[in-house]
Amino acid sequence: MKKTLLPTISFFLLSWWASTDSLAGNDLEKAIFAGGCFWCMEADFEKISGIKEVVSGYIGGTAKDPTYNNYGKSGHIEAVQILYEPSVISYADLLEIFWLKIDPTDKDGQFCDRGHEYSSAVFYLSTEQKKMAAESKTLLDKSGMLQEPVKTVIRIAGEFYPAEDYHQNYYKKNKLRYHYYRFRCGRDQRLEDLWGEKTDRTKIFKKTSKYKIPGRDELKKKLTPLQFEVTQNGGTEPPFRNKFWNNKKEGIYVDIVSGEPLFSSTDKYKSGTGWPSFTKPLDGAGIIKKVDNSWFYIRTEIRSGYADSHLGHVFNDGPKPGGLRYCVNSAALRFISKNDLAKEGYHIYRTLFQN
């Protein structure tokens, strides 16, 4: 990996592991993805709830025990091995995250890093992973979201060789150098070009999503008229006369339509606007941003990733250090108390409320 200007998709070759193995007594499963610079892939995936460990390494070549100095010569590429908790995040979810973190149309590398060793691939570890990866790739290819065909390959996984300690958690140990590289490599700029304003991008993956999205007719029966108007038609509820604007209880807020986790009370603050306001979404929340000029001036709309529900808007007048205010309609949310997280299937978020 040429780290002068350093910057993911692929599935790779050789003998495969079963992803349903129990690891060290824990019900964890493995996934392997290649998306260019493994520093960036590790940083992107480690922030996702349900992922226990991300290891940078090399895979796909012919030599044993490759090193940073020779892995490219033997045909290996940079990749990450992910250990995840399938009861919290599914392999289908990981595939969705993977596509949105890479340039699937680039067959000769990723971003500023060129050559086979930076190519993208999905390395499957079981027949089920192979099937799901192929289906997900097909859905993306047919979605019309990309102007070119998907070039990322799907290959059987061979032996994965962890990279040197220096490369593990590089984005934490060398923050300035990492952020400088990532910016100069143009990774985030290219990702914004590919996915940034396409609000319906996650509709590509609804067939593999764990969140169930009812049809419009079913939603009319399930939701109140106000909830339907807000989430489906982009409506706005009255300030100070809504359910959660002054809610001080501890817990998380999920999409009223799909149940996908969106915000936490730990990031909620009193904005004085009369609507629930948050400084940021939950880590891993698939919040989508869209330009909205419906009120004769430009605003940034926010929508949920899976259900594509209208949530509200995000503004630049929030508290420091982030400076953002996610202004959300109560009608788009369901609140789950910290004491009910396990019962409701959101046990991964209990750590947010542990002192």
Q: For residues 188 and 191, give the distance between their C-alpha atoms in angstroms, rounded to a whole number.
A: 5
Nearest-angstrom CA–CA distance, 58 and 146: 28
327 is an active site residue: yes
Name which of 245, 272, 274, 267 is nearest 333 in CA terms.
245
- The catalytic residue among 40, 112, 185, 327 is 327
Q: Are 160 and 219 in contact (CB under 8 A)?
A: no
Answer yes or no: are the C-beta atoms of 353 and 340 closer than 8 Å: no
Q: How far apart are CA 348 and CA 54, in angstroms?
A: 17
Of 351, 265, 348, the closest CA to residue 51 belongs to: 348
Are residues 284 and 304 in contact, defined by beta-carbon separation less than 8 angstroms? no
Selecting among 37, 40, 112, 185, the annotated active-site residue is 37
Distances (CA, A) of 124 to 41, 75, 85, 86: 17, 18, 17, 16
What positions carry a catalytic annotation? 37, 327
